Structure 1
Amino acid sequence: MAQVELFVFLLFAVVVLAGLGLRSGVPYPVVLVVGGLVIGLVPGLPSPEVDPDIILFVFLPPLLYAAAIGVSTSELKANAKPIGLLAVGLVLVTIAAVAAVANVVLGIPWAAGFVLGAVLGPTDPVSAAAVLDRLGVTGRAKTILKGESLVNDASGLTAYRLAVAAVGASAGSVFEITGKFVGVALGGIAIGLVVGWVFAHLRRIVTDPSLDVALSLLTPFVAYVPAEEVHVSGVLATVTAGLFIGARSLDIIEPSTRLRTLAFWESTAFLLDGLLFVLIGLQVPTIIERIEDADFVTLGLYALLITAVVMGVRALWMLVIPTFLHSDTTKAERIVIAWSGMRGGVSLAVALAIPVDDFPNRDLVIFVAYATIVLTLVLPGLTLSALVKRLGLQQSEEHKRQDAEARLKLTQAALDRLDELEDDAPDHVVQRLRDRYGSRLERLEARVEGNHDEDGQTDVARAGKLMAEMIEAEREVLRGMRRDQEYPTDVLREMERELDLDDSRLRARIRL
């Protein structure tokens, strides 16, 4: 019962901390990781027993799948070169650099040092994306960061698995390790493609939203578990399945079902990330107690050193590699990419999953990994917003125009189809639809042309503000109906849902 109560408390803490982050404008992963550390230092709080296998099984597949379904495969292909260099080349260099420093300075054996490097190799897109989305940043930098995070999860965690095997003296020579890396990767991709194909066909048949969410939830586990059982990459299997289904979501899932499923995954990833942050925060005091001859100053210096290595290698990479290899990214974009190397939920899950038995300096490795994750989240997380503004990478007028042009094409296609079908419906119905889409067409044309009034506001922005006020007036009347109990509850709930949909649609299209 105590474990259940602790779990409920942790969930509550995640919600409260994330809320504080959103209200303060600080990326919520930063608040979660700092809050988790503070919670862990509260005297008297129990430190839950963490089974490494359960951590990997419960947290890793859904986190990877949630990231994969939101990534565009066409954008991955278009940016394959910079993403590949960051996700494979930079990860391997980071692993080697961390392992070398950990061995020479911290006295950690080479194999365990490579495990530490593999834990800290993958980046996490959540914190950077939270800042970039809030500022309206678009373009290659954001695409590269998301693609890098997804692919380097696969490369870094595959390296992690081989490094853990090396700790157990079962990895073999360099050539054997390279062969295993390739075999493990290809096997994982093959299983992911099969699972993605099967579940894509199942979800095309199923039309019930609840069943679709259930199938979606099963997908990462069905990909991950068999892959791990046959000793190939469960990480790559999960990521591949997610990419496969995400690329076909328009064809296999109905619109209302797709919205519900995507909302489910956003909430799931948020809760899992948050739980990891506060869960490892509770582990910190116990971990420090178990480190032999633990000295807070020395441990702090170790954490700062490894953080400097992780962030320094990334900065040097972004400085040197584009000089030798042609890059289409601008200098400002490369600076943002260099400063966006936050580590997060996946690294935390893997750190907690380090085997308990026969692993040298396990507690020191976990502490240094956790401290580095905290520092790589907090330092860039609190300064990235100012950096982006200083570099002028907010959403450009050109991107806004392209957004409006794309929507204009969709609206025109709808009107063309209406012209084809106008003989099959009453004139007043056709006219009503033509007026509705014609109004949208005018708004989009104004946005493309950039029509502004004397105050510098577009007609679209003014219309959006008026529509928002109109929806709020409807909401006020609805609240009165609910207080007075004039109408059945199910009628009022349906009206509330429609107003919520109108409001979300307005904010998405008008960009209030």
Structure 2
Amino acid sequence: MHAETVLLLVLAAVAVIVAARWLAGRTGLPAAALLTVTGLVYALLPGPNLELDPEIVLTVLLPPLLYSAALDSSLIAIRANMRTVVGLSVLLVVVTALVIGVGFALWVPGATLAAGIALGAAVAPPDPVAALAVGRRVGLPPRLVTLIQGEGLLNDATALTLLSVAIAAAVGDGFSTWSALGSFAMSAAGGVAAGLVVAYGVRPLRRLRRDPLSSNAVSLATPFVAYLLAESVHVSGVLAVVVAGLVISHNAPYWQSGATRLQTDAVWKLVDFLLEGVVFLLIGQQLPAVIRGLGQYAPSTVVVASLITVGAVLLVRPLWLWLTEHAPQALHMRLGGSPVEAETTPPGGRSPMAPRLSGREITVLSWAGTRGVISLAAVFTIPLTTDSGAPFPDRDLLLFCAFLAVLVTLVGQGATFAPLVRRLGLRADAADAARLRNQARVAAVEAGLTRLDEMQAEQHDHVDDAAIETIRAALRTRRDRYERRLEVLTDAEGEIPMSPQYEAALRVRRAVIDAEREELLRWRDAGRLPDEGLRTLERELDHQEHLLPSRPA
């Protein structure tokens, strides 16, 4: 493919991604489903097409996507829900793979158990991108967001390890349960260790925090370093990336500067936006590749295999969630407690039991199991032949079933997820979250006032009393504003109460900033202010505008 053709495809992809985001904002449809359908339609048209290269997906696309998701997650929240996260990301993946494997061995003519498990391992891990994008927009409760995030971060490692074991058995290396368990344990433990090595290895580089560009360059390189380090010693690169991201995200607030944090957030949002768009377009474009070899199978075989795969993907998940949530209470002890639980646990006593998921929460989590590009990349790693040189059993059928499972869940579940959440009335308590933020703001201001008192008492850096009093007055004004807001939020439930005066004040502040920008432009256009000076002053106004909330909170 010529360089000009590749460039045109890239530019076209960016245009489609931007258009899909705009259309999603106007219609409420998930951008992931729109992009997948667009790629599917493009695959049916004449012209150049891109076939998915699993090596590129797993090595180039997956690490930054996982790392960005880990940076946006909470290590404390995942640890507090560890029992459910492990159940979804490890046990459910294994159960789903076994169900599909047994189904293939029993009802698909000529299929082997190992080949079926390989397919099951590929389609077992959900890709939470589409569900989280919709869930955040409709205000999904924080605990469900944490469960979806935690599952999506950890399940790929389980699936890829299980897939390698199944492929080894299918191509003739044989299968041993104990060997498989040992391989999984070593891969997982090694992945965690590699992630910790990278997370703490970048600590000496925190001196670069005063240089946002250097700090962001290190941030972009980190997931690839973690992945390559783990893969070089034959352990889970996926788990290494996730662990590195979670640990760095947890520790970064202690050493990261404000300028670096703002730029890092912007950089990773752009990376997410483009990479996620590309992978969803790639999914749709794989149609020609997955139907190319279906002619050798009887239609009844294709139908049965498709029903087993899609049925298992759709039904095993809710059944698993229902069974685990209705298990005996002894099985509901947390593997780790939240900070709140730690405070309420009696000395020498056991951690309180994890709250069970409600029926509505189980329904939402069940419908959040959209599959994505990892499933396709995984199934495309199945080799063409076995060790004896014979074709891998039913490889073309496995590709088609995986593609169908991705398409059904990504488009079907993705497009209906928001209406389902709204219908069930499962929303986060925005007023409660706003109360917590304002309480934290008051505490932060009080800490600032205390530090001022200490500096004044110590005559710190020869700061005069007038400067300290000016800062103290500004802090007290902020504290009074937060406390008034807390009074409004005290009795509020659900939605954040709207204050006409507050909204009017925001409009006035934005109007003032707009007027300042217009005046600066007039100075620049009249030749009174150089462009360099304009950019400096614009950044000051941009930071002021960035501090203004879109909603009172």
**Residue 419 of structure 2 aligns with which residue?**
386
**SS of residue matched to 1:395:** coil
Q: How does 1:111-150 map to 2 (within 5 A)?
A: 111-150=114-153
Distance 1:294 1:258, change over 3 A: farther
> Which shifted more, 493-502 or 185-194?
493-502
**SS of residue matched to 1:328:** coil
**SS of residue matched to 1:507:** coil
Separation in structure 2 between the aligned mates of residue 100 and residue 374 of structure 1, nearest angstrom: 23
| Post-superposition offset of 1:322 | 0.7
TM-score, normalised to structure 1, is 0.90
Separation in structure 2 between the aligned mates of residue 378 and residue 469 of structure 1, nearest angstrom: 42
Distance 1:432 1:7, change over 3 A: same
Separation in structure 1 between the aligned mates of residue 29 and residue 546 of structure 2, nearest angstrom: 23
**Residue 421 of structure 1 aligns with which residue?**
455
**SS of residue matched to 2:285:** helix
**Residue 214 of structure 1 aligns with which residue?**
217
Q: Is the CA contact 2:120–2:309 (under 8 Å) kept in the aligned structure 1?
A: no
**SS of residue matched to 2:93:** helix
Mapped pair 1:267 → 2:270? yes
Match of 1:408 among 442, 460, 477: 442
Separation in structure 2 between the aligned mates of residue 75 and residue 387 of structure 1, nearest angstrom: 25
Separation in structure 2 between the aligned mates of residue 153 and residue 478 of structure 1, nearest angstrom: 51
- How many residues of Structure 1 are paired with residues of Structure 2 in the alignment? 509
Mapped pair 1:443 → 2:481? yes
Distance 1:401 1:303, change over 3 A: farther
Gaps of 5+ in 2: 333-353, 387-391, 491-495
Mapped pair 1:84 → 2:86? yes
Mapped pair 1:350 → 2:378? yes
Which structure has the larger Rg over C-alpha atoms? 2
| Post-superposition offset of 1:271 | 1.7
Gaps of 5+ in 1: none
**Residue 355 of structure 2 aligns with which residue?**
328
Distance 1:432 1:336, change over 3 A: farther
**SS of residue matched to 1:64:** helix
Distance 1:89 1:451, change over 3 A: closer
**Residue 493 of structure 2 aligns with which residue?**
none
**SS of residue matched to 2:202:** helix
Q: Is the CA contact 2:128–2:149 (under 8 Å) kept in the aligned structure 1?
A: yes
**Residue 63 of structure 1 aligns with which residue?**
65
Q: Is the CA contact 2:127–2:152 (under 8 Å) kept in the aligned structure 1?
A: yes
Q: How does 1:182-261 map to 2 (within 5 A)?
A: 182-205=185-208, 207-261=210-264
Once the two structures are superposed, residues 397-425 of structure 1 have per-residue CA deviations (whole angstroms, 9 ceiling, x without a partner) of: 22221222122211221222223334543
Q: Is the CA contact 1:203–1:215 (under 8 Å) kept in the aligned structure 2?
A: no
Distance 1:464 1:138, change over 3 A: farther
Separation in structure 1 between the aligned mates of residue 126 and residue 94 of structure 2, nearest angstrom: 13
Mapped pair 1:373 → 2:375? no
Separation in structure 1 between the aligned mates of residue 488 and residue 401 of structure 2, nearest angstrom: 52
Separation in structure 2 between the aligned mates of residue 301 and residue 256 of structure 1, nearest angstrom: 56
Q: How does 1:89-104 map to 2 (within 5 A)?
A: 89-104=91-106
Separation in structure 2 between the aligned mates of residue 319 and residue 252 of structure 1, nearest angstrom: 43
Mapped pair 1:464 → 2:501? no
Q: Is the CA contact 2:134–2:417 (under 8 Å) kept in the aligned structure 1?
A: yes
| Post-superposition offset of 1:328 | 0.8
Separation in structure 2 between the aligned mates of residue 120 and residue 384 of structure 1, nearest angstrom: 19
TM-score, normalised to structure 2, is 0.83
| Post-superposition offset of 1:142 | 1.4
Separation in structure 1 between the aligned mates of residue 108 and residue 255 of structure 2, nearest angstrom: 52
Separation in structure 1 between the aligned mates of residue 72 and residue 103 of structure 2, nearest angstrom: 36
Q: Is the CA contact 1:72–1:247 (under 8 Å) kept in the aligned structure 2?
A: yes
Separation in structure 2 between the aligned mates of residue 300 and residue 33 of structure 1, nearest angstrom: 23
Distance 1:484 1:27, change over 3 A: farther
Quick one: which amino acid aligns to residue 186 of structure 1? Answer: A
**Residue 48 of structure 2 aligns with which residue?**
46
| Post-superposition offset of 1:177 | 0.9
Distance 1:286 1:92, change over 3 A: closer
Distance 1:361 1:262, change over 3 A: farther
Distance 1:313 1:506, change over 3 A: same
Q: Is the CA contact 1:277–1:348 (under 8 Å) kept in the aligned structure 2?
A: no
Q: Is the CA contact 1:63–1:346 (under 8 Å) kept in the aligned structure 2?
A: no
Distance 1:301 1:29, change over 3 A: farther
